[in-house]
Structure 1
Amino acid sequence: MGRVKRYFSNEFSRQKWSLEHDDASQFYISSLQSSRSAVPLLLIRLIIFIGCIGILLASTILTGLSWVHFGYWPVYLTHWGLVFITVTSGFAFYVSVIAVAQGSIDSSLGLPWYVKAYWLSYNSTVPIALFITVFYWILLATGEEEYAINPVLDVFIHAINSVLMLILVLVSQHPSNILHVYQPIAVTLVYLVFSIIYYFAGGTNPFGGHFIYPPLDWAKPGPTTGVVFGCAFVLIVLHLCVVVISLCRDWFSKRYIRDNRTVSIHP
C-alpha cells in the first residue's frame, strides 16, 4: 500500500502537469532492450512512421477515387486521427534520429522542444486513436450509413491505427502521467467546436445529413450533449488504460529485460 500511496502522491504533484522529465534517455531507449543504444527504438519507430504514412496516403487516395467527394475527408475525426498518428510517429522518429546522431539528448536545462512536442502529441494521440476505434465499431459500423469506402482500408483506419499506437506505447520507456489527461481532452474539444461551427455553417455529410456523425447531430442538442459527456468519460478511461499499460510495461521491463549496468549509448 505504501508504494501505491507514493505513486499517486507523485502522480498528482504539480510537476506532473508539465512536460518536464528528469531522464531524457527514456524518450529514445526502448523498454524492450537491455542496452542503452538508441538504434533499436529508432528502427521500430521508423517502421511505425512508414506504416502511418502509408495508411494516411491510402485514405486520401482511395477517398479521392471513390464516390465520396474529397472535400468531406477533412471533416471526420477518423481522418484527423490519421494525421495525429502520423505526426506523433514522425516526432518519435525525429527524437530517435537526434539521439543516434548526437549520442544522447541533454535535458540538464529541461527537455528540448522536439521531445516535448513528441510527448504532447503522444499523450493526445494514443487515447484518441483508441477512442476512434471504440467509437467507430460500437456506434457507426452498425449504423444505417455506410462509412467504409473500402473494407480493407476501413480496418486500417479504424483498427490498425490503434494497433500502431499501442506498439509505440509498448516499445517506449517514457511515462504516461495521469494528469496529462487534459491534453487529449483539449484536442477533442477543438474537434467538438469544429463540429458545432460546421453545423451552423450549413455543412453536410456525404449522405446529405446536416451532421458529421449521427450521434453528433447538433439539431438535437440535448441527446448530443449527453453523447459528448459520454465520449469525454470514455476518453478519460482510455487515457487511464494507457497509463496502466505503461506501468505494466515498465514493471515487465525492469523485472525481465533492462540491464542498468549497461552504459554505452551506441550499438
Structure 2
Amino acid sequence: MKTILRQEINIRCLGFSHDRPEQFVRCQWQKNDGVSIIYLVYRWIFGILFLSVWIWSFFSAAQQNTPTENFLSKWPIYLTNWGYTLCTAQALLAAGLVTQQLVKERKTGFTTDHAQTPVIYKAYWLLHTLAVVTAISITGSYFVIDYDPAVHNLTALNLLMHAFNSILMVLDIILVAHPFRLIHFCWSLLFIFVYFCFSVIYHLAGGTGKNNAPSIYPALDWSKVESTLPIAILGMLAVILAHFCTWLAVIARNRIARSKDDKSEEPKISKLSSNQVQPMDVVMS
C-alpha cells in the first residue's frame, strides 16, 4: 500500500494522461479486446436514464411554480442539480465514446493507435471522477444533514436524485476499466469549493432558497458564518473521504479483475478418466 500511495501522490499524476486510452471504452470485466456490445447497451441505458431523470427534475420544478415564486429559476442553485448534471454529462459522453470506438473498430479493426490520451477522453475522465465523488457526497449530506421528514417527501424523483445517483455511480465505478487517481481529489475538492463560493455570492446578492428561505440550504446559511463555516469545512472533508473510499474500491476492483485473469491463464491439466486408454509408455512405467 505504501508503494501505491507513493505512486499516487505525485504531481505528475495530477493531470489526465494515460498510456492505455482504450480502457476508457472497455468494461473491466470483459474478456475480449474491443468494444463489448453488452457494455455499449449498458452505456446507453445508463446515459438515457440519467438524462430522463435530469429532464424530469426540470419539469417537476416548473410544475411547482406559483404566482409569487418561480421554482424553475432556482433549479440551478442546488448542489444536487449540479451533481446530477455532472452524472448526466459523463454518462452521455461515455456512451458517445464507446459508440465512436465501435464504429471505428468495424471500419478498421480494433486498434490502440493513440500516442496520447485524446482530450475528449480526459474530459470524460474528469467528469466521471467529479460525478462519482459528488454523488456519494450529496447522498451522505442529504440524509445526514438536510433531510427532514416533515418537509421532504421521499418521492420517486427525490430518491433518484439523492439516493440512486450514488448507487448508480458506484455501480459504474465497478464496471468501468479506466483508472481513478487518488491525487485527483484536488479536482473534487475544487468543485465543492466553487459551489460554496457560489453560495456565498448568491447570498450576498440577496438570493433566496425554496419558498423564499433565507438560504439555499438551512445548513448553508451564510448570515450565520460562525455555524455555517464549520459545516462547509466538514463538507469538504467529506468529499476527500468519499474520494479516498472510491479509490480504495477501484484498487479492490483491479485486484479482483487481475486475479480472475491470472486464473484464466493457468494451464488446465485434464485428468484421465477410468475408461480412457493410457499411452503405452505410461503403462510400462
TM-score calculated relative to the size of structure 1: 0.90
Q: 1:92 aligns with which of 91, 94, 99?
A: 94
Higher relative contact order (CA 8 A, sep 6+): 1
Q: Matched residue of 1:224: which SS?
A: helix
Q: 1:32·1:257 contact (CA, 8 Å) conserved in 2?
A: no
Counterpart residue identity of residue 142, structure 1: D
Q: 2:180·2:247 contact (CA, 8 Å) conserved in 1?
A: yes
Please give the residue correspondences for 1:21-100 in structure 2 after superposition, counting only pairs within 5 Å: 21-39=18-36, 40-67=38-65, 69-100=71-102
Structure 1: which 5+ runs fail to align?
A: 262-267
The alpha carbon displacement at 1:215 in A equals 0.7
- Separation in structure 2 between the aligned mates of residue 113 and residue 137 of structure 1, nearest angstrom: 36
Please give the residue correspondences for 1:1-267 in structure 2 after superposition, counting only pairs within 5 Å: 4-39=1-36, 40-67=38-65, 69-103=71-105, 104-108=111-115, 110-142=116-148, 146-148=151-153, 151-256=155-260
Counterpart residue identity of residue 213, structure 2: G
Determine the structure 2 residue equivalent to 1:264.
none
- Separation in structure 2 between the aligned mates of residue 92 and residue 242 of structure 1, nearest angstrom: 19
TM-score calculated relative to the size of structure 2: 0.84
- Separation in structure 2 between the aligned mates of residue 22 and residue 14 of structure 1, nearest angstrom: 17
Counterpart residue identity of residue 116, structure 1: K
Percent identity between the aligned chains? Answer: 25
- Separation in structure 1 between the aligned mates of residue 205 and residue 75 of structure 2, nearest angstrom: 17
Computing the radius of gyration from Cα coordinates, the structure with the larger value is 2
The alpha carbon displacement at 1:92 in A equals 1.2
- Separation in structure 1 between the aligned mates of residue 40 and residue 189 of structure 2, nearest angstrom: 29
Counterpart residue identity of residue 113, structure 1: V
- Separation in structure 2 between the aligned mates of residue 105 and residue 74 of structure 1, nearest angstrom: 40
- Separation in structure 1 between the aligned mates of residue 178 and residue 196 of structure 2, nearest angstrom: 30
Counterpart residue identity of residue 122, structure 2: K
Runs of at least 4 residues off by over 6 Å? 258-261
- Separation in structure 1 between the aligned mates of residue 264 and residue 28 of structure 2, nearest angstrom: 12
Q: What do the CA deviations read for 1:108-145 (whole angstroms, capped 9, x no partner)?
A: 1x11011000001111111001111111111111276x
User: Residues 53 and 27 of structure 1: is their aligned pair in 2 closer, same or farther, counting only changes over 3 Å?
Assistant: same
Q: Matched residue of 1:47: which SS?
A: helix
Q: CA RMSD in A?
A: 1.9
Q: What do the CA deviations read for 1:203-262 (whole angstroms, capped 9, x no partner)?
A: 11122222100111000111111011100111000001110111111111121258998x
Structure 2: which 5+ runs fail to align?
A: 106-110, 266-285
- Separation in structure 2 between the aligned mates of residue 43 and residue 257 of structure 1, nearest angstrom: 24
Q: Matched residue of 1:207: which SS?
A: helix
The alpha carbon displacement at 1:176 in A equals 0.8
- Separation in structure 2 between the aligned mates of residue 259 and residue 52 of structure 1, nearest angstrom: 36
Q: Matched residue of 2:210: which SS?
A: coil
Alignment coverage as a number of residue pairs: 255
The alpha carbon displacement at 1:14 in A equals 2.8
The alpha carbon displacement at 1:98 in A equals 2.1
User: Residues 183 and 247 of structure 1: is their aligned pair in 2 closer, same or farther, counting only changes over 3 Å?
Assistant: same
The alpha carbon displacement at 1:75 in A equals 0.9
Q: 2:208·2:214 contact (CA, 8 Å) conserved in 1?
A: yes
User: Residues 14 and 7 of structure 1: is their aligned pair in 2 closer, same or farther, counting only changes over 3 Å?
Assistant: same
Counterpart residue identity of residue 237, structure 1: L
- Separation in structure 1 between the aligned mates of residue 35 and residue 263 of structure 2, nearest angstrom: 15
- Separation in structure 2 between the aligned mates of residue 221 and residue 181 of structure 1, nearest angstrom: 26
Counterpart residue identity of residue 127, structure 1: V
